[in-house]
Amino acid sequence: MLVRVGCRGSRLALTQAERAADAFRRRGIEIALVPITTAGDRDRTRPFGEIGSRGVFVKELEEALLAGRIDVAVHSAKDMTSTDTDGLVVGAYPTRGDARDALCGADAIRAGMRIGTASARRRAQLLAHEPDLFIEPLRGNVDTRLRKRGERGLDAVVLASCGLDRLGLEAEIGLRLDPDLMLPEAGQGALALQVRIGEDDLVVSIDDEETRRRVEAERRCVAVVGGGCLAPVAAFHDGGTLTGLVAAEDGSWVERREGSDADALGRELAALAAHAARAR
């Protein structure tokens, strides 16, 4: 049996896909990795919001899956839209890695620093923590962003801890940012193995029940906040509590709420965002 596993073509995406492929190989299943270029890979200059925000690294993989060109798509769960695409389902979430963000190039956030990130979520929380920062847009794969930090003379860049860990770049991390300071993106640190509906058996043995419980609560919370919400949004389940966040991109206001019900929490965050929008 040959299973075609689709993924993005970056070094991190291929490394993550290999982790999933190893699980198949241990079951005696032959694997063919199929790298696919996404919209987010092709356009490396414009902000994510201008090219589609969540889903810009996912759409082409999902199209290949629906067309039967691949059998499994391996995504970073944080890149996925908050609702499932018709005809497709996340059949497995392998055990989650470190969900925290990482500060690379410095061991603390200090006033006056120049920090690179393209994420509105990260920008909002950095400025809320320390308003006297200069946040500079920075896109590209992990290696590119680390290189650009030096080329552009930035004091630090913010990346996902899990990606650095998976690439063996832990030494680049000066500080892993506690969720109390920087709430992670919904699904950050987790991989999502997507299949066509009815073909869950391909990946079900790889599924980690606890990771699924947490990540699906985060995704549900973000989905209920809604795509019409233009404010940065985050959600993170630490195993006991689900925390959600909405904020102004300039960090001038940040609202955090906790709850056990993802739907109720999402509605509360949506109301807070709507109220803030009316007040501006």
State yes or no: is 43 an active-site residue. Answer: no
End-to-end CA distance of the chain: 58
Residue 32 backbone phi and psi in degrees, to 5: -125, 120
Q: Which of 22, 41, 71, 79 is catalytic?
A: 79
The three-state DSSP-derived secondary structure of the chain is CEEEEEECCCHHHHHHHHHHHHHHHCCCCEEEEEECCCHHHHCCCCCHHHHCCCCCCCHHHHHHHHCCCCCEEEEEHHHCCCCCCCCEEEEECCCCCCCCEEEECCCCCCCCCEEECCCHHHHHHHHHHCCCCEEECCCCCHHHHHHHHHHCCCCEEEEEHHHHHHCCCHHHEEEEECCCCCCCCCCCCCEEEEEECCCHHHCHHHCCHHHHHHHHHHHHHHHHHCCCCCCCEEEEECCCCEEEEEECCCCCCEEEEEECCHHHHHHHHHHHHHHHHHHC
Question: Do β-strands 134-136 and 114-116 pair in parallel, antiparallel, or remain unpaired?
Answer: parallel
Determine contact, residues 115/96, Cβ cutoff 8 Å.
Answer: no
Residue 173 backbone phi and psi in degrees, to 5: -85, 120
Determine contact, residues 160/191, Cβ cutoff 8 Å.
Answer: no
Residues marked as catalytic: 79
